[in-house]
Structure 1
Amino acid sequence: MPESRPPLELQGVSLADLQKLIEERRLPPVDRWQPEKCGHSGMRIGRDGTWHHEGRPIGRPAMVRLFSTVLRREPDGTHVLVTPVEKLEIDVDATAFRAVELHSEGTGRQRKIALRLDSGDAVILGPGHPLKVFDTELGPSPRVLVRHGLEAELSRTVYYELAELALAEKNNPVGVWSNGEFYRLEPTE
């Protein structure tokens, strides 16, 4: 059954209303499902966020949104699609999601920052969704924790928007506040 919920939008929505919309989205309890591993799904999420099945891009956004709701990351770092009766591995080139849009309200320590994901979901940076910048062979990789160990890598545009906010506020070290937490915009490891 295809995903029927529309993607969340950031434009024209206050962050308080967005938080309510996020809380109303009931996702499957994949963290409670523990079936035996059944094999590989034949699927891969490319570095650019494109989902593939048997080497071909999946062209239906609603299908990708549906698959994204049953995705989780295992303690060993592998990604799986999970239902109550089966668990199938899925290859992920970088991160499961991409943060493709930013919306900010407030300034300084009172700021709240929302990120729209390419899966149609959204998160608000804060204690449950921290931001961390990793140093990779391709350069800095800013990532936000989404759910069940899954991360979203920030698009270059979103990362630059965060940098502009940080520089405008002259934070030292360079970083941003969101939901009472401070996030550095440079690798810390």
Structure 2
Amino acid sequence: MPMPPLPDLSSLSLADIARLAEENRLPPVERWNPTHCGDSEMRIARDGTWFHQGSPIGRPAMVRLFSTILRREPDGGYVLVTPVEKLDIAVEDAPFQAVEVKIEGEGQGTTLAFRLNTGDIVTAGAEHPLRFESTDEGPRPYLHVRGGLEALVARPVYYELATLALAGDDQPPGIWSAGAFFPLENKA
């Protein structure tokens, strides 16, 4: 059965986004503790592309399915987990990418909803904070998705956030979402 098409984020209200996020029930991977079975021969590249045995996974529905059983382990590693098996998966940076943002409101009343490359929608706030890491290549923004899993915010989306932050009066510059403030500079 084909997966329904993803809705256009710009056409959704925040209430629609909240409803879609609520409907997106995930398996209880945090409660599954099967024996480790080996390597999945899968890798998530820095750009968010999923690979199996060196070849990109071309079916978005398969990527979405695998993303629902992804878990971050206490040692920092990543696994694909079901009730009966656990397989390692290599992640080059973050397992997800935030590829689109919907900005609603102004100043402290702003809410930011992000669409991930898997189709998931996450609203930034206290439960899903943004963080900005300084690197030699420039700032790398991340959005907490769930259970230690993060999304790297795509460069065009980061530029939207930076423009929003620099238009505000906050010192240091930062962005608000769902009542939480996220400074663009990381605290060293």
Query: Which TM-score applies when normalising by structure 2?
Result: 0.95
Residue 129 of structure 2: aligned partner: 130
Distance 1:8 1:75, change over 3 A: farther
Alpha-carbon displacement from aligned partner over 1:89-117 (angstroms, at most 9, x marks no partner): 10000000000101111111111001110
2:21 matches 1:22: yes
Q: How many residues align?
A: 188
Shift of 1:136: 3.4
Measured in 2, the distance between the counterparts of 1:7 and 1:30 equals 24
How high is the sequence identity, in percent, across the aligned residues? 57
Report if aligned partners of 1:140, 1:187 keep a CA contact under 8 Å in 2.
no
- Structure 1 unaligned residues grouped into runs of 5+: none
1:108 aligned partner, one-letter code? G
Shift of 1:85: 0.5
Shift of 1:9: 3.7
Measured in 1, the distance between the counterparts of 2:8 and 2:58 equals 21
Shift of 1:5: 5.2
Measured in 1, the distance between the counterparts of 2:4 and 2:72 equals 23
Q: Secondary structure at the match of 2:47?
A: coil
- Structure 2 unaligned residues grouped into runs of 5+: none
2:21 matches 1:11: no
RMSD of the alignment, in Å?
1.4
Indicate the larger mover: 96-105 or 162-171.
162-171
2:170 matches 1:140: no
Report if aligned partners of 1:9, 1:116 keep a CA contact under 8 Å in 2.
no
Residue 160 of structure 2: aligned partner: 161
Q: Secondary structure at the match of 1:31?
A: helix
1:109 aligned partner, one-letter code? Q
2:35 aligned partner, one-letter code? E
Query: Which TM-score applies when normalising by structure 1?
Result: 0.94
2:57 matches 1:72: no
